[in-house]
Amino acid sequence: MGRLLLILEKNSDIFVLAIESIIMHNELGALIVQKQTWKDYFLFRIRGKHIAQESQPGQFIMLRPTKSLHPLLRRPFSIHSVLNDCLEIFFLKSGIGTTLLSQMYEGNSVDILGPLGKGFFLDRELQGKRVALVGGGRGIAPLYFLAQKLLDLGALPHIFYGGKTLSDLPLKQKFAQKNHKISISTDDGSIGFKGLITDLFQLELDNIMPSYIYACGPEAMMEKIARIAEKMAIPAEFSLESIMGCGFGACWGCVRRIKSDTREEWVKICEEGPVFSGHQIIWHDEES
Amino acid sequence: MTDLSVDLGFIKLKNPVLTASGTFGYGIEFKPFVDLNKLGGFIVKGLYFEPREGNPPPRLVETASGLINAIGLQGIGVKRFAEEILPQLRSYDTALIVNVCGDEDQEYAAVVDYLDRHEGISAYELNISCPNTKREGRCPALNPLTTQAVVKLVKESSSRPVITKLSPNVTDIVEIALSAQEGGSDGLSLANTFLALAVDVEKRIPKLSNIFGGLSGPAIKPLTLRMVYQVVSRVKIPVIGVGGIMTGRDALEYLITGAKAVEVGTANFVDPQSTLRVIQDLEDFCKSHRIERVEDTIGSLIVRDRE
């Protein structure tokens, strides 16, 4: 409430606006310039100069996969990477929105709104320190952007990337190419450690002793990481997911139980998150 | 130059486009996208006297061309609204309408009584039709007697015009509309969301924590439009059409049917500039059809005798 809002630039295709220090743009005809496919996983590079310029790791965009009335709502996608005037999204085809998007190609354009929400903690104090990034399945999406920015800061990121089977880990080469340290797990043992990524993380924790933990993935995975982080007194951040009606705080549809020093309340993930500190989040088994 | 203004009797609007409560936050959320001065008016999110928690998630589910919500009217309460939000909204040259909620009839009256002491509000919209706050969608608007009683009570304590937002989840909408008019309502909003259910077939559970929610979006437009048709010929007070408006043509369907104004709702989530596009569409339609005043379209529906 009581935020300062400014319209910075306005023309027929792009809206530029500022909420306090947060800048938001609506790029109505953002061009898809590259598409990569691995079975049901997709990586799209989209030219959206204004959004790309302002994005921080952990923030997201709302993308409208069609101009028709079904599906009606935009879909949230975390920002996977930023390259010059482009941003990338990485997603798993799962529902009607992602299925429609997966059928688009280079040269098609999409309507995107962003960057939205608040991103991960990034600070000079992480310079020279080891940090752990834990991603499960499509939850790996925002961690690539984060890992790159952490490297730029001089931090030493170690990636934990888990999935059900080998085909759930399409980004492992991409991380390896950037010389990120990476530990891999699959439920079926088809590659890497056989078991859950949280078990592998627990096993390697003593060697790494991260100063900071970031996680994104299935709720059960994040909750386990939160317990470990709490026990070891390591600060940790989690990127939460929710169905979203608008992405910019108007519909109140994407709430999560969040605690502060004084109280507990339903907080909008799109506005106050999607990244929250471990100590703020009330995990589902704690809810009454 | 097309004249887009409409006269509701108790209030004049610069154009017939309002925002539906609950889809436009407290207005300020849309300042980045919409010059609020360009709207006919905006209706802010429903206010109870006290701050309200709302329902647990999941609160939203998308259905075919529609959205089912069960937010449960989470909100900041009337005091914070008056202290923090209202001062930011006063400077706009447009109608500000406050959506008023209550668990009991007295609470509606208390909210109105409190807001009456603050400047900058054009009218109240009485939300007696939210399907998400009590079990199985119960609300005053389901019954003509409870409708009339709450409208009458609020009108007695209000110094401003009162619009009553009715529920579509009734057998006879005309009966409820007449009871609101009888209670002294200055206008009607037709209508709130349709009580709805969506099921997760894998888990065999309702998709919303509240079980039921309210369906909005393009899916409901023909249903509310039918209700507007039924009501406009039977009441003397102006009707505001609301349900599934995405474009100027959607708005025109309501106006031609006899609504004096419209509220744009779910479209605000999809395209935050929807209201401006609807206004532009209306103007373009009027120009291309050589209509000088948008009011000339209101109630212009031609229905041939069925005999």
CA distances from B248 to A77, A235, B35 (A): 30, 51, 18
Residues whose CB falls within 8 Å of the CB of residue B102, separated by 6 or more in sequence, listed in order: B48, B49, B108, B109, B110, B111, B150
- Does CATH place domain A5-116 in 2.60.40.1120? no
Q: Do B23 and A250 lie within an 8 Å CB cutoff?
A: yes
Nearest alpha carbon to residue B128 among B97, B113, B156, B107: B107
Q: ipTM of the assembly?
A: 0.93
Q: Which fold has domain A124-239?
A: Rossmann fold (3.40.50)
Structure tokens at A11: 């023309």
Query: Where do we find the tokens 């409820």?
Result: B176
Q: What residues does each domain of chain B span?
A: 6-56+72-198+215-297
Residues of A in contact with B62 (CB under 8 A): 71-73, 243
Return the residue of A nearest to B269 by Cα: A246
Interface check for A265 against chain B (CB to CB < 8 A): the answer is yes
Judged by CB atoms closer than 8 Å, whether chains meet at A266 and B56 is answered as yes
* CB of B33 less than 8 A from some CB of A: yes
Put simply, the answer to whether A250 touches B28 (Cβ < 8 Å) is no
- The C-alpha atoms of residue B61 and residue B241 are separated, in whole angstroms, by 24
CA–CA min distance A257, chain B (Å): 8
- Cβ of B62 within 8 Å of Cβ of A73? The answer is yes
- The contacts of residue A168 (CB under 8 Å, 6+ apart) are A41, A137, A186
Closest CB from B25, B65, B268 relative to A69: B65
Residue ranges in chain B whose pLDDT is less than 70: 307
Provide the chain B residues 77-136 that lie in CB contact (below 8 A) with chain A: 80, 84-85, 88
pLDDT for B32-49, tens place per residue?
889 999 999 999 999 999
Q: What pLDDT does B71 receive?
A: 95
Q: Please report the pLDDT score of residue A20 as a whole number.
A: 46
User: What is the full per-residue pLDDT of chain A (288 aa) written as tens digits?
Assistant: 334 344 444 444 444 444 444 568 899 889 999 999 999 999 999 999 999 999 999 999 999 988 899 999 999 999 999 999 999 999 999 999 999 999 999 999 999 999 999 999 999 999 999 999 999 999 999 999 999 999 999 999 999 999 999 999 999 999 999 888 999 999 999 999 999 999 999 999 999 999 999 999 999 999 999 999 999 999 999 999 999 999 999 999 999 999 988 899 999 999 999 999 999 999 976 554
Residue B130 bears catalytic tag: yes
Out of B32, B88, B217, whose CB is closest to A19?
Answer: B32
Compare all CA atoms of chain A with the CA of B65 and give the residue at the minimum distance: A70
* Distance, CA of A236 to CA of A280 (rounded, Å): 10
* Nearest residue on chain A to B73, alpha-carbon basis: A252
Using DSSP's 3-state secondary structure scheme, residue A115 falls into strand
Count of residues in chain A:
288
- Min Cα distance B188 → chain A (Å) is 23
Contact call for A249 and B268, based on CB within 8 A? no
Alpha helices in chain B (DSSP H): 77-80, 86-89, 105-116, 144-157, 173-183, 221-232, 248-257, 267-270, 274-288
Q: Mutation test of the interface with chain B: which of A1, A4, A13, A17, choosing the one with the most B Cβ atoms within 10 A?
A: A1
Cβ neighbors of B17 (< 8 A, separation 6 or more) are: B39, B40, B251, B261, B262, B264, B275, B278, B279, B282
Contact between chains at A64 and B270 (C-beta distance less than 8 A): yes
For residue B1, the model assigns a pLDDT of: 81
Per-domain residue ranges for chain A? 5-116, 124-239
- Alpha carbons A119 and A214: distance in angstroms, whole number: 11
Which residue type does A158 have? Answer: H
Global pTM? 0.93
Would you identify the CATH topology of the domain B6-56+72-198+215-297?
TIM Barrel (3.20.20)
Neighbours of B88 (CB within 10 A): 17
Question: What does each C-alpha distance from B275 to A67, A104, A249, A276, B256 come to in angstroms?
Answer: 16, 29, 17, 33, 19
pLDDT of residue B189: 98
Distance of CA B232 to the CA centre of its chain: 16
Q: Is A74 on the interface with B (CB under 8 A)?
A: yes
Tokens of B227: 């209700």
> The tokens 């056989």 sit on which residue?
A194
Give the model confidence (pLDDT) of B105-139 as tens digits.
999 999 999 999 999 999 999 999 988 877 778 89
Q: Are B28 and A5 an interchain contact pair (Cβ–Cβ within 8 Å)?
A: yes
The chain-wide mean pLDDT, for chain B, equals 96
Instruction: Report whether A41 contacts A92 (CB < 8 A).
Output: yes
pLDDT of residue A19: 47
The predicted-structure confidence for B248-258, as pLDDT tens digits, reads as follows 999 999 999 99
Neighbours of A233 (CB within 10 A): 6
pLDDT at position A4 is 38
Interchain CB distance below 8 Å, B28 and A3: yes
